[in-house]
Amino acid sequence: MSLLNRGGLTLVNSHFFEWGKRVLSSIRNAFDVDDMERDPKHAFQTSKKKILGDVQLRHEFIQLCKSLSLCAEKSAEVYSVILQKTVHARFAVVFRACRSKPIKEEGVVSEF
């Protein structure tokens, strides 16, 4: 039911809290303003693929689900939804920061 929630407060189950902290840390490390400045056209997709392809994060999530006797098939589906929503939420913060920061382009200052 929480996956259907469109922006309301959702509390993380204590069993998944440490895993969630690792996910957030990985996402923050994978994409920041510097990445956007280095490669504004490809940074988003490159970073997103890196996070979504992280085998260790996926394995940890599936193992947590198995230890709680949750369905493995549904766990993989839920993992994909959670990770994509989390990536997009964090990356949006970076995009907003980039838009508000003036950039220099061949001697001309403009907005991103």
pLDDT given at position 32? 83
State the pTM of this model.
0.72
pLDDT 10s per residue in the chain (112 long)? 455 556 666 667 888 899 999 999 999 998 888 888 888 888 888 989 999 999 999 999 999 999 988 887 888 888 999 899 888 888 888 888 777 766 555 544 445 4
- CA 57/CA 24 separation, integer angstroms: 11
Residue of 110, 85, 84 whose CA lies nearest to 98: 110
Those residues whose C-beta lies under 8 Å from the C-beta of residue 105, and which sit 6 or more positions away, are none
Give the tokens for residue 57.
């994060």
Single-letter amino acid code for the residue at 42: H
Question: In this structure, what DSSP letter does residue 16 have?
Answer: G
pLDDT given at position 93? 82
Q: What are the residue ranges spanned by the domains of the chain?
A: 14-111
Give the tokens for residue 64.
């947590």
